[in-house]
Structures are given as structure tokens and as C-alpha cells.
Chains A and B, each alone.
Chain A
């Protein structure tokens, strides 16, 4: 044994051959019977599976590594290098399996052996390296061993003449040793780095490069001594920069260019000592014509600037700046522009961090002066050519730090204001667009100044000194007629308003007056939404001004009676008054961001509802809907829900409910006698009231939600009206309209509380079931079914739920099976909603119900309804059974539904009678349409024949929905192989649809044809002539929207296969 590993026996001397052989023979006699045979089989018999047996033997303790080595003796000492290689291979592979339970002594001996074997034949080396790699995983390395291994490795192995796998072995050995033996390796000093540099010099394989970059990164980050090799290490890694790598097709290793880029970037930016080499390299690479090289250089620059200090950057600042400026000024690519801007920002923030020294200039000032000097003149040139790139550069610099913000703002903002004012006075025709541009630029600065570094005190704000002139500019722009100016001005205003204390009281008052005036007068919807946004953001920090100046004006406008139109001419005027009223109502919601404002605004909104109910003022249903929407928005946007939630709970919900019930009763009482119906009874209005309550409830704390729920339930079941304001109502809960209102209420109040117990839930469910099965009013039975579904969805599993389900299914089946029944529609609606409720929570009964739905596709009366029902099953419903109302919705239920049912659907389609087929196609297209794109793509091959079938189905809805699910598939390169086979068929059918009578179908068809033009030339070129001829017809379509699509599609098909495409 000893002689085997004694140093110097490279050529396997004669005497060594004998002694281990003898040892092995003795071992074989005592116990380890199979071992020599096993070795024999592996080495000469070439049976690779013996490794597993040997490894299992070692792991199970049948024999030790020592015994294995002894058994290997003859092969390790063979004169045939193949045999030696085979022997080492067996040992290495066994070690790979059981390196963890080696003792320190064993490791030492084995390592010494391997070290020695490194000098052996090239056939042996790969296995030796594998062995060393296996050993580096063992924790039992005695001290000094690592150093000796590395020395041998660096000395005896020429890494780059090895094969890919062996090189990878070397890197892994280094990585493993760096993990476990850091101290010892550092003891090697710069030799380690030198060895590594030699090892990786010339590496080409991306997999190995990732390892090598990791080692280099470790060297830099863990503080290994670089000695005189700093530049060499930089050279050996930076020669790959910028990385240009395109993975081969079907790459099994999955290495991307991005991975390599990031790994290399970590190395290059890993130390400040590389600065003097890296920065010139970056400047050089920025001159490259290759976009990706530029991008990588800019991103690397941004990364290293965040590590470097002024000292590193100092020398290169002018060079870097001129490169950056050039990139941003001249590039056509947004990516490069934004990378350039972030690099500038990183440099600026690096300079801002640098400590000022007394004897030199402020580095930041010097650099920013350079930037400002190069950019500012572009801002004042009359034609404003390079104004945007300059502004972006300046803003990027100013957003880097507070100090930079101050410096840039001080230089630029006054100049912009002056320029704007000059233009205003000139007031020639093109100046409006130019002023708009100036104002846009100004807005960018104000937002950058405010957004980046919010300060506590207004005096610290960058904008502090410019408030007065800024306000003047804003107010003058707000009074212009140009919408662009108004929009931008209101954005600047809202940016200023966000910083508390910046605007003086006087300015605020003027600003609020301007905003109010715009709300009342401005018709343009864009201006209007900009103004509302501005008002909303300002209201948060300036409550008093808004409540004293804006809200009263809005209120009086809302309640001012529009003049009664006397003739046709007046109609237009009242229409505009109508619009003003609705804007005011919207504005109330916009400014309600704080509790005291909510109190004021919501009481006005409730007043609108109340007075429209009593008929004291003439509000149209649209006004009431707007008021409800505003209440809903308030419920959605309010920040502190605790206080406001209580307000909603105590005041708003009861009043809304009270009003609805009163309206319902009144309507019921006077039914048939008087035509004066309260506007609150319109379905649209009711539908608008509902989300107010549900949104508010969904945001309530569970305690209050529970209280609301129990109140409403007892109201519905027992007619308990005690909590409603002015409770002089007669208790007659059975009235149709009352139940209608309350049933919707239920859906929503019940739905929110996942943890909220609903009292008397069983009674409630049976009432709802009854209502949904017997009511003849579509709105009522649908709402009841929804409500039922919402409750079912949340019931916990168990006997109670099963009983309810059993009962309801029995009832549905009875109703549906009786073809003469008048209540089949009701039963179907209930079935649909219950199916959805169970489907989204993965309830086992869902599949039974789904099958029922499928069977209805063959029902002559209900087939169209059932087909459309699938759209409801698969889509997101906005009012119930969604996560916002805390429903139990599992992820990927659509995919699951699809995989479970697609085959049934196809089967059903094949079996169905001819005129029933369209229902199946419609159902299919609904289902496929709602699937995520990725699933659509994988499922397409199986479904394509059916989808093509669907294209020729006469039902326009089917055509449209099929086209809309084909379109994204066609847009997604590369085209799925299933499609390529049927392209002929597809194009033929599409061309047929270009003359469909339905405009939407024509448009969708043309979009699909447009998408097809981006398919690879060889696939679509054969169809070019035919498609061009067919597309000439829709060019003369009578609808403009169709012509537009046709023009685009035909243009693209013309370019196909012609030069200059």
C-alpha cells in the first residue's frame, strides 16, 4: 500500500506491482469475497454498473476504502494505461458516492495518491481529477493538504488542453476548496490567483465560464491577495466583455446570455482596483455599433459606479460624460436611453457620496456643471430639437441625490420658467406646442425634485425657492384654452401640492379656485381626469381649503335645478348641465381621501339619493348611478378604514338600504295605481348601489362585517327593520321588490366575511333556493342564485353542506327534466351559479354538475344558454365569487377544468346532431378563450381541427370568440407546429370570413391575417398572391374600422418576400 503511493512511481515500477497484489490476495481470503471479482469485472470486463455495487458495499460497511484500494492493486499498477485509467475511474466513482464518511487519514492518503497520479498518462488524468473533485466534498481535510493539491494541480496540469468536463472538474475543485479552506488558500498568496489565471486563460465554454466567473468573483469579494496580478486577472476576465453569446437551439444546459453577462459583471465590478482598466474599456465599448454591447457597457457602468468612489472615477469623468451624452442624444432605442440615464444617475450619486476635501473643488459641482453646460442651451433653443434628451439627462442627474437635485434645479428651473414666459408673451401660433413641451419638461423636473427625496421641512425642498414663479406659470397655464397646457399644469400643481408647506395659503386658495372652475367648466375628458387626480392628491394634505372652498361650490352646483327645456334648442344646454353635475359628483369622490372630507362628501351624495327618491329634485338615473359610483370609489380609496369604515357601517349602508327598501315598498304599494316610480327602483340604479355596499363591506373589519351581515339576514328573513333609519316601515318582507333588494344585498354582505359567521345560514339558503327557483323576475332569481352560490362557496365541507347540495341538485334535476316546466330557466340559472361556486373551490361534486351542464348542450331549449354559461364558468365574475369578496377560489381552476373536460367536449361534439354542434363549438371557444396563453399554446394541437370547424360555424358569436382565441396564438412566435400543418385550411377559412356580414368578425379576421404575415416567409409566401387578391375586397368595405385593419394587413402581406422587408 505504502509503496503504491510512494512518490515517484510514475511509470509503475516492477516491485510495486507485486506487493499490493499480495495484499489483495490475503484480503480476499478474509471476508471481502466479491471484491476482487468485482474489480476485475469493472476493469477488464468493462461492466460500468459494478461501480454502484462497490459503492453500496462501502456505504454498507461490507468493505473499506482501504480494502478496495488493495483489491484495485493489480489494475492500478498495470503497465497498460487503459487498465490504470479504469482502476482509477472505479476508485474515483466510488469516492464520489461515499466521500462524506472518509476519515482524515484516508483522505490524506488518497489525496497524496491522486496528486501523484496527476503525473500519469493523459488517459488517467480525467479520472484523477474526478477523484480529487469527489474528495474536495469531504470535510475531513487535514491542514496543508489543500495547498499541496493546488500546487500539484497548477504545476502538473495544463488546464486548457483538457476536455470540457475535466476543465469543469478543475473549477469545481477550486470552488469547493475556496468554500472549505479559505484560510489556507489565502496563505498561498498571489500564487493562487496566478494559478487560477493560468487555468482559465482561454476558456471558451459557457458552462465553465460561469464557474470561472464565480471563482474570480469569490477571489475579489473574499479578499484574496491579488499581488501583482490585478491587471492579469482583469485581462483574463474582461476579454469576454461585452459577452456575445447565443445559445444553440434546443440547448439542454439552459445557459442564457443574461446569466453570463451578470456573472461577468459581478467580476468586473467586484473591486475598485479594476477601475483604471474597466472605465477605459467601457468608454471604448460604448463606441461599438452593436446594440447589446452598448447596453451591457452602460449597465456595467451603472453597476460599477455604485461601488466606486470619486477617486476611481475622477480621471474618466469627461470621457464618460461625452459617451453618455452621445448615447442618449443619438440613440433610437429606449433600452439604451434608459440604461444611459441610469448610468448617469449612478455616477452622480457616487459623486454625491464623495467626501469633500478642503483643497479641491466639489467633485459633484464640477461634474454637474459639465452636464448643465452641455444640456441647458438645448432647453432654450427656439426649435426645441434636443429638448427631451437634454431634459432626461438633467433629470437623471438631479434624481441621484438631494444635493444634485438642488444644483440642477437652481440652474434649470428659472431658465425654463423664463423661457415659458417669453413664449407666452410672443404668442405666435406654433408657440402653443412649444410651451406645452416646456411645461412638460418643467413637470419632469418638479416631479423628480419632489418624488425622489421627500423632506420633512418645506425649507429643505429643492423647489422651495421657485414656488412663486412656478405658481404663476401654473395659474397662467390653467387659464389657457389648450388642453395640453391645462393637463400638464395640473400635474405640476399636484406635484407641488404633495409636499406639505410648500404652497402658501394664498396660492392654495387660488389653486383650488382654478381646479373648481375647471371641474365646472371644462368639457374635455382628459383635462377633467387630470384635474380630478390633482384635486385628489392635493386634498390629502390641504383638507381645510378643499372643504371650505371646493365642496360647497360643488354641492350648490349639484343641487341647482337645471332649467326646464322649453324647446329643442335647450336640450343641448341641459345636456351640458347634466355633464357638469356628473363631474361634480365625480369630483366629490376624488377629493374624499380623509375622514372628515368623506363625511362631508358622502352626506352630499346620500342627499342626492334621498332627494331623488322623494322627488324633491329632478335627478336622472345617470346622476344617481354616478353618485353610487362615487360612494363606491370613496369606499375603495379611503386609507384609514377604521374610522371611515365605522362611518360606512353606521350611516351609509343603513341609509342606502333604507332608501332602497322604501323605494321598493312604495313601488309595490302603488303598483298599478300611479306611474311615479322612484328612480331608485331602476335595475341599473340597484346594480350601482350593490357594489357600494359590497366594497364597503369587503373592507370592513370582520366584527362590523359580521354585525352588518346579521342585521341584513334578519331583515331578509324576518323583516326586522330596526336598524334602518326612520324605521316607520311596515314589516312586509315578502314583497317582491323588497326581497329583490335584500337578496342582492345578501350576495354582497354575506360574501365578504370569510371568517364571518352568517347567522341562520341554513334557513337563509333554503329561502334563497326557493326564491331563485320560483321567482319569475329575471333580476330577482339571478341575484338569488348568485347569493346562494356565494354562500355555498364559503360553507365549510361537511354534512351540512352535502345535505344542502343534495337538496338543491334534486330540485334542479326535477325542474330541468320536466320539459314543459316554465321554471326551467330559473333552475338552469341556479345550476350554473352553483356549478361555478363548487368549481372554483375544487369541490368533488363540481364534476357531476359540470356533466349536467354538458348534457344541457344537447337540450334544444337551453343549449344556447348553456353554451354561454361556460363563459361565465370560466371568466372572472366581478360581483361575486372572486377573491375581493374573500371567496374560496383556487388557483388554476380553469386549467383543471379544461384538462378534465376537454375530451368530453370533443366527444360530445362528435356525437351531437348536426344542428346542435354549434353549442359545443361555442362552449369550447368560451373555455379556450379564458385559458392562460401558455396553456392555450400547449393545447392547441388537439383542438385546432375543432377550432377550424368553429370558424365555419354560422354563429357569429362562435366565429368571433374563436378568432379572438386564435389571434394571440398567431401573434406568438414561433408558430406552433400543429398550425403549420393546417395553415392552408386556416387561411382559406379566414379569407372566407373577410366578407362576413358582422363587422367585428371582419375586423378580427383581418387581424388574424395580419398576424399571419409575420410567420416565417417559407410558410406563408405560397399564399401571398391569393391573400393579396382577397384583401382587395375589404379595402373597399363600407366600414372605416374594417378598412383600417385591411390596409394594415395588406401592407404587411405586400412586404412579404419582397426586398427591404
Chain B
């Protein structure tokens, strides 16, 4: 924290984390199938992992990702995630979006079509960012870039590993 670079948003508003998902009896029953639901995707994005590159806080605590903005359809194999940058001029928006996308690519079965975009009206250059995130080739190219991959991986390092 003694770094000399100024943070864009040094004092973000912190939101309460929702509790751990309670394990239900159906989930422990071997014979029933649990479809992938919104909460599960939300947990993938928040509980275990993605950290904001600027703050040692999870995206949930910063309200970047909210459960209501996650939509999944297991039967159709589609996922759509809207994220809200902390401030309208956040320069990290693309990076956060990329991290979310990579996390989902790594965590979901191949059959899913993954769509990540900015919550409408929450960022100054919304369209540009959305376009970058939707472009498969640009995402693939970005992940070839070692430096970028490094930052993305840092965001994805789980919280326990990060503190250890």
C-alpha cells in the first residue's frame, strides 16, 4: 500500500458479501441432477476467486458482479454476465471483463456459449469494451500476451493462495 502510483478509486464502497450457499438435501442426493444455475456461476466468479486488480477485494464486495446480473440457461448452454465497473472511467474494465471471461472459460463445460458485457450505462466506453470482449480472436490473442496473461492470472489466483 506504500506504492507511489495513485489509485484511480482509492476508497471504493464495500458491499457485504452474501453468505455461503447452503447445501440442500437435494444436492446431497446422488440420483438427482442439479442444473447449473445463476447462483453457481455467481459463486464461481466471486466466492473462490476473481479479485479486482486494484483492490484486495472480491468483485462481489465491490459490487462489480451481482447475482441478478448473471443469467444462465443450462438446457440451452448459454451464460450471460453483466458487470459494473466501480467508476464510469475505470481503465481496468476490459481487464476485469477479460478475467471474468477467462474464469468462465476455464470453469464451464465446453458446450456453453459465454457472453460477458458491461452493465448498460455504467461505463464511458461501454461499446468498445463489449466489442473487444465479444471478439473471440482478440480474446485468444490477448491470452497469448504473457504480460496480460500474468495480470489475468493474478486476478484469478484464489484468495487463499493470494494471502499465503
Task: Flag the segment in B79-87, B122-130, B143-151 that touches A.
Answer: B143-151
A330 and B106 contacting across the interface, CB-CB below 8 Å: no
A61 at the B interface (CB under 8 A):
no
Measured as residues with beta carbon below 8 angstroms from the partner, the interface class of chain B is 35 or more
A433 and B16 contacting across the interface, CB-CB below 8 Å: yes
With the chains together, A1061 CA to B151 CA distance in Å? 9
Given A1041-B28, A1059-B149, A1060-B153: A1051 touches B36 (CB 8 Å cut-off): no
User: Mask for B122-164, Cβ within 8 A of A = 1, else 0?
Assistant: 0000000000000000000000001101111110111001010
A1060 and B151 contacting across the interface, CB-CB below 8 Å: yes
A957 at the B interface (CB under 8 A):
no
Q: How far is the CB of B45 from chain A (nearest CB, A)?
A: 10
A849 at the B interface (CB under 8 A):
no
A1051 and B149 contacting across the interface, CB-CB below 8 Å: no
B48 and A1048 contacting across the interface, CB-CB below 8 Å: yes
B106 and A1039 contacting across the interface, CB-CB below 8 Å: no
B154 and A1054 contacting across the interface, CB-CB below 8 Å: no
- Chain A residues closer than 8 Å to B146, beta-carbon distance: 1059
- Chain B residues closer than 8 Å to A1036, beta-carbon distance: 109, 111
Given A1032-B110, A1035-B107: A1043 touches B36 (CB 8 Å cut-off): yes
**Residue from B30, B40, B48, B110 within 8 A of A998 (CB atoms):** B30
- Chain A residues closer than 8 Å to B157, beta-carbon distance: 1055, 1060-1061
With the chains together, A1040 CA to B150 CA distance in Å? 30
B152 and A1052 contacting across the interface, CB-CB below 8 Å: no
With the chains together, A482 CA to B16 CA distance in Å? 14
B153 and A383 contacting across the interface, CB-CB below 8 Å: no
A1058 at the B interface (CB under 8 A):
yes
A222 at the B interface (CB under 8 A):
no
Tell me the residues in window 320-343 of chain A with beta carbons closer than 8 Å to chain B beta carbons. 330-332
B49 at the A interface (CB under 8 A):
yes
With the chains together, A1039 CA to B28 CA distance in Å? 8
With the chains together, A255 CA to B123 CA distance in Å? 56
Q: How far is the CB of A1013 from chain B (nearest CB, A)?
A: 10
With the chains together, A1051 CA to B11 CA distance in Å? 30
Tell me the residues in window 39-94 of chain B with beta carbons closer than 8 Å to chain A beta carbons. 40, 43-44, 48-49, 56
A1044 and B43 contacting across the interface, CB-CB below 8 Å: yes
Tell me the residues in window 8-42 of chain B with beta carbons closer than 8 Å to chain A beta carbons. 11, 13-16, 23, 27-28, 30, 33-34, 36, 40
A518 at the B interface (CB under 8 A):
no
Q: How far is the CB of B90 from chain A (nearest CB, A)?
A: 18
With the chains together, A331 CA to B163 CA distance in Å? 12
- Chain B residues closer than 8 Å to A119, beta-carbon distance: none
Interface centre among B33, B44, B107 (most CB of A within 10 A): B107
Q: How far is the CB of A1007 from chain B (nearest CB, A)?
A: 14
- Chain A residues closer than 8 Å to B43, beta-carbon distance: 1044
B107 and A1060 contacting across the interface, CB-CB below 8 Å: no
With the chains together, A1059 CA to B145 CA distance in Å? 10
A491 at the B interface (CB under 8 A):
no
B154 and A1060 contacting across the interface, CB-CB below 8 Å: yes
With the chains together, A385 CA to B61 CA distance in Å? 12
- Chain B residues closer than 8 Å to A332, beta-carbon distance: 1, 56, 163
**Residue from A385, A1032, A1059 within 8 A of B150 (CB atoms):** A1059
Residue ID in chain A nearest B49 by CB atoms: A1051
Q: How far is the CB of B164 from chain A (nearest CB, A)?
A: 9
Residue ID in chain A nearest B107 by CB atoms: A1047
Q: How far is the CB of B150 from chain A (nearest CB, A)?
A: 3
- Chain B residues closer than 8 Å to A1058, beta-carbon distance: 149-150, 153
With the chains together, A1054 CA to B158 CA distance in Å? 12
Q: Total number of A-B contacts with CB less than 8 angstroms?
A: 80
Q: How far is the CB of A298 from chain B (nearest CB, A)?
A: 16
Residue ID in chain A nearest B149 by CB atoms: A1059
- Chain B residues closer than 8 Å to A998, beta-carbon distance: 30
Q: How far is the CB of B161 from chain A (nearest CB, A)?
A: 8
With the chains together, A567 CA to B23 CA distance in Å? 30
Tell me the residues in window 489-525 of chain A with beta carbons closer than 8 Å to chain B beta carbons. none
Residue ID in chain A nearest B157 by CB atoms: A1055
Q: How far is the CB of A769 from chain B (nearest CB, A)?
A: 41
A999 at the B interface (CB under 8 A):
yes
Q: How far is the CB of A1036 from chain B (nearest CB, A)?
A: 4
A361 at the B interface (CB under 8 A):
no
Residue ID in chain A nearest B13 by CB atoms: A383
B44 and A330 contacting across the interface, CB-CB below 8 Å: no
With the chains together, A1055 CA to B161 CA distance in Å? 11
Tell me the residues in window 423-446 of chain A with beta carbons closer than 8 Å to chain B beta carbons. 433
User: Mask for A1023-1061, Cβ within 8 A of B = 1, else 0?
Assistant: 000000000100110111101100110111011001111
**Residue from A385, A1040, A1041, A1043 within 8 A of B11 (CB atoms):** A385
- Chain A residues closer than 8 Å to B106, beta-carbon distance: 1047, 1050-1051, 1054
B1 and A330 contacting across the interface, CB-CB below 8 Å: yes
- Chain B residues closer than 8 Å to A1060, beta-carbon distance: 149-154, 157
Interface centre among B109, B147, B152 (most CB of A within 10 A): B109
B5 at the A interface (CB under 8 A):
no
**Residue from B16, B30, B109, B158 within 8 A of A1035 (CB atoms):** B109
- Chain B residues closer than 8 Å to A1054, beta-carbon distance: 106, 156
B108 at the A interface (CB under 8 A):
yes
With the chains together, A320 CA to B43 CA distance in Å? 42
With the chains together, A1058 CA to B152 CA distance in Å? 11
A289 at the B interface (CB under 8 A):
yes
With the chains together, A385 CA to B2 CA distance in Å? 19
A1043 and B30 contacting across the interface, CB-CB below 8 Å: no
Residue ID in chain B nearest A997 by CB atoms: B30
A1039 and B27 contacting across the interface, CB-CB below 8 Å: yes
With the chains together, A998 CA to B149 CA distance in Å? 37
B16 and A1040 contacting across the interface, CB-CB below 8 Å: no
- Chain A residues closer than 8 Å to B2, beta-carbon distance: 287, 289, 330
Q: How far is the CB of A974 from chain B (nearest CB, A)?
A: 15
Q: How far is the CB of B88 from chain A (nearest CB, A)?
A: 18
Q: How far is the CB of A327 from chain B (nearest CB, A)?
A: 10
With the chains together, A1043 CA to B33 CA distance in Å? 12
- Chain A residues closer than 8 Å to B158, beta-carbon distance: 1048, 1051-1052
Q: How far is the CB of A379 from chain B (nearest CB, A)?
A: 15
Residue ID in chain A nearest B143 by CB atoms: A1058
- Chain A residues closer than 8 Å to B34, beta-carbon distance: 1038-1040
With the chains together, A1048 CA to B160 CA distance in Å? 12
Q: How far is the CB of B17 from chain A (nearest CB, A)?
A: 11
- Chain A residues closer than 8 Å to B109, beta-carbon distance: 1032, 1035-1036
With the chains together, A383 CA to B12 CA distance in Å? 10
Leading 5 A-B pairs by shortest Cβ distance: A1060-B150, A1060-B153, A1036-B109, A1059-B150, A1038-B33
Query: Can you list 16 A-B contacts with CB-CB less than 8 angstroms, sorted by A residue number?
Result: A330-B1, A332-B56, A332-B163, A385-B11, A385-B14, A1039-B30, A1040-B36, A1043-B36, A1044-B40, A1050-B107, A1051-B107, A1052-B161, A1055-B156, A1058-B153, A1060-B154, A1061-B153
B residues contacting A by CB (< 8 A) are: 1-2, 11, 13-16, 23, 27-28, 30, 33-34, 36, 40, 43-44, 48-49, 56, 103, 106-111, 146-147, 149-154, 156-158, 161, 163
Q: A999-B30, A1032-B110 are in contact. List 4 more A-B contacts (CB 8 A).
A: A330-B1, A1035-B107, A1036-B109, A1051-B103
